[in-house]
Chains A and B, each alone.
Chain A
Amino acid sequence: MAAVTSVGETPAPTAASRPRGMHVRRQRRLNVFRYVVFTVFGLFFLLPLLAMLRFSLEGSKLGTWSLSAWKEIASYQNTGVPPLLSAIEVTLELAVITSVVTLVLLVPTMIWIRLRVQWLERTVEFLCTLPLTIPAIVLVVGIGPIYNRIQHYSVSALMLFWIYVILALPYAYRALAAGLGAIDVKTLSEAARSLGASWFTVMVRVIAPNMRQAILNALLLTFALVLGEFTIAYLLLYNDVLQPELFAINRNTPNAGVIFSTSFAALLFAFALLLILSYAGRSRRGRG
């Protein structure tokens, strides 16, 4: 397996004839750069989130504090929507199914195309960008008839995965393409094939492991997409998926803070989940 090291790892001491001072200076500059970037972007991302959090803790008069918006999530009365826990469960299952199907569909196909059928590359790229071009509200018009047929077989919200995979394609494709482009697929595959590997072995045991970060990022993006997807589930009248459920909780009460407590809770939940996933995907890299 080719060793891939990332850009900033400290190079091995065997790299000779390089002035030590220059390296230290560059490292210091890079560190300053990193801290500045993290601080600036951190602030930019944090401020709206803090505003949301503050608003979710507003009391009935502006300027006071109250936990009522958060308590509502746990205690809302069930007027026509399923309990929150069942919606979370369904959405998690949906996320897993969608991620698996997306990766199974995309990774072999992309590797295969890069290896053997390059002329299809732009076509696949276009097809994988198309779902983003059509606003969800119009896409529902198009998939309505298909889902009508699906619902004759099953009204379960898990059937949403068929369209969620399509929604995830643009993001997963781009993450995977970035990873695929970073490795020299041709050389790796020629080397493996000359050692007698089958195409399947080449794809699964040679190339895919070099795309670990890309596959992980695609997985994270798909997961986050399913956890955050609202419009299509809402317009197809699936109210037992997380975001429509949170929306229903919000509409259940005149307490305006609830939409923010539910949003913030959903963000925290997704963040915790993605963080855990990122640990699961990353191998402890040895040196070489």
Chain B
Amino acid sequence: MAVAATTETGARPARAGRRLSVPSWAGTVPFFAYVTVFLLWPTAIVVVDSLKNPSGSWAFANITKLADPLVRGYFIGSVKLCLLSSVFGAVFGAILAYAVAIGNPDGLIRRLYIAVSGVLAQFGGVTLAFAFLVLIGPVGLLFHASWFYSFPWGITVIYTYFQIPLMVLVFLPAIDGVKVQWREASENLGASAWQYWRYVGGPLLTPAFLGGALLLFANALSAYATAVAWEDQIAYIVPQQIGIALSSEVGLSNVNVADLLALGMIIMMAVVMTGYALLQRRAARWLR
């Protein structure tokens, strides 16, 4: 990183004594180098493979397969599931995070909830799906939810189980940053709770809220093991179909198709992130 300030007089700003004329983005090189090797290169391998056919020759026409109605159905299914679980997860997670944040900052409940959230945010897969199956499935201990196997409701409930803790963990630092003095100040000026949230708290927390919701969306997008454990016979979402394309042992496996579906997911994510960036910009304007 560029070292700029001198400390001789203690008050000299950046320009004096600059030894290297290194651009400021140079400080991000370690990060980008790492990400290029271990994320972009594998992604490139997947993307390049998606445009080939099993014999190894190029097949750029593959990309038109993404418009296939069957494939579109998978993507729509994924979007439905991700939207539902991320909205529920974000809203409930934010509420829970607020409840945790307004308590004693060094208290046991806060630590417990944070530790529990950390663990449950990464919990999923066969055991989670099975736990819900045992609770509200056909032979449910609690009751039998007739909607358990209908898409997307049953699987949304399961996904929300790990989405909420994730939201708690990523949103909590933002709530912590909303200083209590601001609440007091707004009360002193006569604002009601609603006005406080509308004009002060809301705008401050919106970027973090949207960011959390985005994370939840992406989290739900690639989840695979949980969906397959919930219901194996019909592929509703893209990862289920990717799983079949990768591991089918009856002759229907096709790595290129799996890669193509992954490419579709990346494109979808890019679209979602563009929408998200626009939302953030509007929210930032609200803050001004």
Contacts and interface: CB of A to CB of B under 8 A. Distances in A.
**Chains A and B touch each other in the complex, with CB atoms below 8 Å apart:** yes
Interface of A: 4-9, 11, 15, 17-18, 22, 26, 30, 33-34, 37-38, 41, 44-45, 47-49, 51-52, 54-55, 105-106, 108-109, 112-113, 116-117, 120, 122, 124-127, 129-139, 141-143, 145-146, 162-163, 165-166, 169-171, 174-175, 177-179, 181-183, 193-200, 211, 213-214, 217, 220-221, 223-225, 227-231, 259-260, 263, 267, 270-271, 274-275, 277-279, 282, 284-285
Contacts of A263: 127
B215 A174 contact: yes
A229 B103 CA distance: 32
Interface residues of B, number: 120
Give 9 closest A-B pairs by Cβ, nearest first.
A182-B177, A142-B42, A8-B102, A179-B173, A228-B122, A48-B131, A132-B218, A214-B173, A274-B115
A224 B165 CA distance: 12
B76 interface: no
Given A112-B27, A117-B24, A134 B222 contact: yes
Given A106-B31, A224-B121, 6 more contacts: A8-B101, A37-B99, A135-B262, A137-B224, A174-B211, A183-B177
B269 A196 contact: no
A138 B126 CA distance: 19
Contacts of A270: 118-119, 122
Interface of B: 1-7, 9-14, 24-25, 27-28, 30-31, 34-35, 37-46, 49, 92, 95-96, 98-99, 101-106, 109, 111-116, 118-123, 125-128, 130-132, 134-135, 141-142, 161, 164-166, 169-181, 183-184, 187-188, 193, 207-208, 211-212, 214-215, 218-219, 221-225, 238-239, 242-243, 246-247, 255, 258-259, 261-262, 265-266, 268-270, 273, 277
Contacts of A162: 38
